Amino acid sequence: SDSHFPVPICPSDVDFSSHYPHFFPGPGPAHAHDGPRPMVRFADVGCGFGGLLVGLSPLFPDTLMIGMELRDKVTEYVKDRIQGLRATNPGQYNNISVVRTNSMKYIPNYFQKAQLSKMFFLFPDPHFKEKNHRRRVISVQLLDEYAYVMEVGGIIYTVTDVEELGEWMKSCLEKHPLFEAVGEEEINTDPVVKLLTSATEEGQKVARNGGQTFMAIYRRVASKED
């Protein structure tokens, strides 16, 4: 349960320096640490075994990215995987990390307003029964939180092999006033889009089985408050 992992009280309470030591200045006099604190910009929600992070890392080597995963063992696996990649590829994979958390409860504890430029929801659990729809990681209510932590112009990527869930995620995004669909041309030229189905373990499984996938890719648009 949630009581078994630490929950930061607010984003400034999260020690990201231990996640990305390469990007944070080492110990020394305080004035040596001047300058903006590096910020996490991409979040992979329900990252599973971390394939997307590993695929994205070399594409955006200066962007900090975090996976959020509920299962303890899976989170530990991703941590070890990243440590191994850093050890065997010196200078690479320093920009990716993972936290164990329940993203449905604690997104605002990790990120401040407008912090994220990309959020990923790849092959989330479908929760088929109507009474379990409230457990889905995309809902109109949760989109309020995601809109809060995303910058205007930021992009939310969703994909699933479950048609009904694909329709659901699209309809939630369509209904939400702070998101609008990204155009087809932009989707076709975005290098990240290919990774949605090819980089993650779940995506590879679906591809092996010749399954169909359903994507919904939406942009955070401005509100009166932005």
What minimum distance in Å lies between the beta carbon of 86 and ligand SAM?
Answer: 21
What minimum distance in Å lies between the beta carbon of 193 and ligand SAM?
Answer: 14
**Residue closer to ligand SAM, measured from CB, 60 or 106:** 106
Asked if 43 and 119 count as a contact pair (C-beta separation under 8 A), the reply is: yes
Which of 62, 125, 161, 190 is catalytic? The answer is: 125
Within 57-216, residue ranges assigned H as helices are 72-88, 103-110, 140-149, 163-175, 184-189, 191-198, 201-208
Long-range contacts of 187-196, Cβ-Cβ distance < 8 Å, separation of 24 or more: 187/215, 187/217, 190/155, 190/217, 191/59, 192/56, 192/59, 192/118, 192/157, 193/157, 193/217, 195/52, 195/55, 195/56, 195/59, 196/52, 196/120, 196/122, 196/157, 196/159
**Residue closer to ligand SAM, measured from CB, 41 or 100:** 100
Cα separation values, 104 from 109, 135, 192, Å: 11, 8, 24
Residues in the annotated binding site for S-adenosyl-L-methionine: 46, 69-70, 102-103, 122, 200-202
Q: What residues contact residue 114 under an 8 Å CB cut-off, 6+ apart?
A: 149, 150, 151, 152, 226
**Residue closer to ligand SAM, measured from CB, 97 or 103:** 103
Judged by CB under 6 A, the chain residues 81 through 120 that form the site for ligand SAM are 102-104
User: How many residues touch ligand SAM (CB under 6 A)?
Assistant: 20
Judged by CB under 6 A, the chain residues 39 through 58 that form the site for ligand SAM are 46-48, 51
What minimum distance in Å lies between the beta carbon of 62 and ligand SAM?
Answer: 23
**Residue closer to ligand SAM, measured from CB, 72 or 226:** 72
Could you confirm whether 125 is annotated as catalytic?
yes
**Residue closer to ligand SAM, measured from CB, 212 or 223:** 212
Judged by CB under 6 A, the chain residues 151 through 210 that form the site for ligand SAM are 200-203
**CA-closest candidate to residue 3, choices 51, 72, 77:** 72
Which position among 16, 41, 42, 124 is part of the footprint of ligand SAM (CB under 6 A)? 124
What minimum distance in Å lies between the beta carbon of 223 and ligand SAM?
Answer: 26
Task: Tell how strand 150-160 and strand 179-181 pair up.
Answer: unpaired
The residues that are catalytic are: 125
Q: Can you give the binding site for ligand SAM, defined by CB under 6 A?
A: 46-48, 51, 68-71, 74, 102-104, 122-125, 200-203
